[in-house]
Chain A
């Protein structure tokens, strides 16, 4: 099964790296492990991949990178020299780019190399980080992820810098009153009613967000929580195989490039979908009348940082967010 293809790819790798050798069995087993990881485990399926799936999968693997990684995993000195020649300079520059201070950078480079070498032994097997590299992505990209992880470990910062206290629980300063003052019952009632609408608004919005598909939520998270720019999101969905792109785009009109305006349009559609669901939840789950829904909509829109109102359809080209990319 796929034996011919494997032999050909193996021979190519041997030619690419004549100074060291990885036995064919190890090469084959590594590919089998990669196929198990991506074609079975990642799909959470017990169905065996078809021969065609396997052929496609093997064809997409970065096999010379995998071969080099396997050479390093075997502690082959020539493989390590080759790895250093190709990647050491990148590792050092990328680390220095990420962290300030030579000491910190050196510390991270050292820790990355320790992980790659694998100083720990478990049941007689050296736990090298290379064991987890499958060749599904590039070796350079994999190294980049490892260094980022190491940098985060060194300077572990709070992930969510924005104060995100529960919005529905936060009291409104403008309506806070001194209970001992001779306030009218009417204004206290207004406060209570307003609080009720605020709670309903928050709950309906949560329900609307929960109704989104994961890929839609991911797009919103990248944009709003992680602060990625439109062009950065556009770049990741530019990959023809990018799942985010496959989810969002109409398959009949696949193009090689994705413009920022396309991503903005996807976001706009999502906002409209959220708003529609938000209104529907207020009406059905919370039993609010149209005029009460209007109040909740105005509460939701009552944010000076927000330049848009979702209560009317957007004209083409109109920006929905105040963010400038």
Chain B
């Protein structure tokens, strides 16, 4: 049924007809929304537009999904600076030791359970 919900959402968004007089929100408003600067009241009209306009929905989604990369671009040298000369040396050494094919390498990896899973037990109230 979730798949069906997905299809209907796509169809409804595709078929949504915006009036010719529609004024699309500008980048200033969308950015303020994505950055969490707008209050409930201020964003009500924007959200109402986003659920009917595929273009603006897509733009805000892109802004959200690219956020970590933007942060990284903001501080391009941080990771390099944080590495000590010894770390860099060991990394370069490791690069020389790792076999060219993944088939020849065995990596042990233990994923830790997120400890904060129960931190946010809010009732969404929907």
Which residues in A have some Cβ–Cβ distance to B below 8 Å?
A: 37-39, 42-44, 60, 90, 93-94, 97-98, 132-134, 136-138, 140-142, 144-146, 148-149, 152, 159-160, 162, 164-167, 201-202, 205-206, 209, 214-218, 220-222, 224-226, 228-229, 232-233, 235-236, 238-243, 245-250, 253, 255, 257-259, 261-262, 265-266, 269-271, 273-275, 297, 300-301, 303, 305-306, 308-310, 320-322
Q: Which of B36, B59, B65 has the most CB of A within 10 A?
A: B36
Point out the residue from A132, A226, A245, A306 that lies within 8 Å of B57, measured CB to CB. A226
Which residues in B have some Cβ–Cβ distance to A below 8 Å?
A: 1-14, 26-48, 50-51, 54-55, 57-59, 61-67, 69-70, 73-74, 76, 114, 116-117, 119-126
Q: Which residue of B lies closest to A159 (CB)?
A: B54
Q: Which of A42, A149, A166, A266 has the most CB of B within 10 A?
A: A42
Known: A148-B59, A160-B13. A218 touches B36 (CB 8 A): no
**Cβ–Cβ contact B26 & A132, under 8 A:** yes
**Cβ–Cβ contact B12 & A209, under 8 A:** yes
List of A residues within 8 angstroms of B124 by Cβ: 248-250, 262, 265-266, 269
**Cβ–Cβ contact B10 & A225, under 8 A:** yes
Point out the residue from B4, B62, B76 that lies within 8 Å of A300, measured CB to CB. B4
| Given A159-B58, A214-B44; 7 other pairs, CB 8 A cutoff | A97-B69, A137-B37, A145-B63, A159-B55, A160-B13, A224-B10, A241-B39
**Cβ–Cβ contact A259 & B120, under 8 A:** yes
Distance in angstroms between the alpha carbons of A94 and B45 in the assembled complex: 29
| 7 A-B pairs with least C-beta separation | A239-B36, A226-B61, A145-B27, A164-B10, A137-B32, A137-B31, A136-B32
**Cβ–Cβ contact B2 & A306, under 8 A:** yes
Known: A142-B31, A205-B5. A243 touches B12 (CB 8 A): no
**Cβ–Cβ contact B28 & A94, under 8 A:** no
List of A residues within 8 angstroms of B51 by Cβ: 214, 217-218, 221
Point out the residue from B2, B59, B73, B117 that lies within 8 Å of A149, measured CB to CB. B59
**Cβ–Cβ contact A241 & B36, under 8 A:** yes
Q: Which residue of B lies closest to A93 (CB)?
A: B73
**Cβ–Cβ contact A132 & B114, under 8 A:** no
List of A residues within 8 angstroms of B64 by Cβ: 222, 228, 232-233, 235-236
Distance in angstroms between the alpha carbons of A228 and B60 in the assembled complex: 11
List of A residues within 8 angstroms of B57 by Cβ: 218, 221-222, 225-226
Point out the residue from A94, A202, A261 that lies within 8 Å of B117, measured CB to CB. A261
**Cβ–Cβ contact B54 & A209, under 8 A:** no
**Cβ–Cβ contact B61 & A145, under 8 A:** no
**Cβ–Cβ contact A262 & B28, under 8 A:** no
List, sorted by A's number, 6 A–B pairs whose CB atoms are closer than 8 Å.
A43-B42, A144-B63, A218-B47, A221-B57, A225-B10, A271-B1
List of B residues within 8 angstroms of A300 by Cβ: 1, 4
**Cβ–Cβ contact A141 & B12, under 8 A:** no
**Cβ–Cβ contact A303 & B126, under 8 A:** no
A117 nearest CB across to chain B (Å): 16
Q: Which residue of B lies closest to A34 (CB)?
A: B28
